[in-house]
Structure 1
């Protein structure tokens, strides 16, 4: 399944793949914000110890839509990849760029 939820998305439509991209960007932003809150909250111990750790889980399951490894752009997917359900967005590197942008603001 696609996470965040892809209910109602039609993967063969470019606008739906880009809508999924937007949902994934939002989830990345929300996850990073929650992680930063937990790491820097004054009631928790890490901030007082000067300790900061962010764990990023990465899955190499391209067809599931939840990886951080660079994906192929949609235009470069082979017919075989599309046949098994790959539904990449137009820009396959967007997740890494989005995460780098968010981390660059810290």
Structure 2
């Protein structure tokens, strides 16, 4: 998998895996009902957990997506903190903003 494919399949803690490619190949605009009919049983990675696309997007009453990016953004918006994993964790070294603020106030 190339870096571009990895970026497309994983956004803000949400791992779409092969679904990302399928969404790219889809014809848009696409109604929520058609999206869920085709891909509703597909697994979406949410941090340390998984859920189906139907579970994530099903609570929306109606939606029309104009692109694969619209679908991804909707998924990210619907899962919220579920996809984060450990909050305030970074593997990039240094302190998080929350930690920095705590040290400065002392």
What TM-score, normalized by structure 1, do the two folds share? 0.25
Q: Which has the higher strand share?
A: 2
